[in-house]
Amino acid sequence: MADPAAPLRHAPSPDAPLDTEALKGERVTVYETSDEGWAWGQLDADGYVGFVPAAALRDPGSPPTHKVSVLRTLVFPGPSIKLPPIEGLSLGCRLAVARDQPPFAVTSTGGYVPARHLVPIDSYENDFVAVAERFLGAPYLWGGKSNLGLDCSALVQLALTACGVPCPRDSDMQEHALGTLIASDFSALRRGDLLFWKGHVAIVRDPATLIHANAFHMAVVSEPMSQAIGRLRADGNEPTSVRRLERPTQLG
């Protein structure tokens, strides 16, 4: 993926629903392209299939060596922060760094990125809940996958991926793939547990608080667990399961 982020849509149309996003440096297997400028392909990281703008793709170049470790950073065309940035990159974007020119890392395509905003590709965070907490206040966007807008399952996926934990994209897939099922005794939940509903997932921040991206607040928020459960219950949506990761705060 060449663009900072590209939409992966349900159909080859700019008006089609956004299913997810592909971030810069993600590998996409393209099965076919259309004369209208769409590529039907599959994201290698999580297997998601859909339509992306063909112009956002490029042939594989140098393999990525680093990734963005902050919510957002800027790429400059030269070694000065006074130059107009040429693009903005979000957490998890992957780059091939050709050389260091402090305080910048220079990419293989000639972009200058603040070196302190990058980490080696094989470097991982230790606490996925802390990663999720960085997104507090980010707007809710169905199918989004960056701090410019994201949904509930993207928040979980981004946070776990930053810790080196493979994670499916959708909440129903996450419910079947992540952790182990524990009894739905909400008084016994601990930091890092995942609480699922039909079509929704939240991260337990502490025994009384959840963090989640949700359409009610249209943002990533931290709120009392009882409040979130009660609101969804009023809409006829009861929790379906609680999943516990083996080491919720030391996953890297």
Question: For 109-120, how does the pLDDT look when each residue is reduced to its tens digit (9 = 90+)?
Answer: 999 999 999 999
Average pLDDT over residues 70-99: 98
Tokens of 194: 């995942």
pLDDT tens per residue across span 232-242: 999 999 999 99
Average pLDDT over residues 172-176: 97
pTM of the shown model: 0.94
Q: Percentage of residues in the chain with pLDDT exceeding 90?
A: 92
Listed in sequence order, the DSSP H helices in 126-237 are: 128-133, 152-162, 171-177, 225-234
* Structure confidence at residue 60 (pLDDT): 85
pLDDT tens per residue across span 121-152: 999 999 999 999 999 999 999 999 999 999 99
Average pLDDT over residues 81-89: 98
* Structure confidence at residue 188 (pLDDT): 85
Neighbours of 233 (CB within 10 A): 12
Q: First and final CA of the chain: distance in angstroms?
A: 25
Tokens of 12: 């080859």
Indicate the average pLDDT of the chain: 95
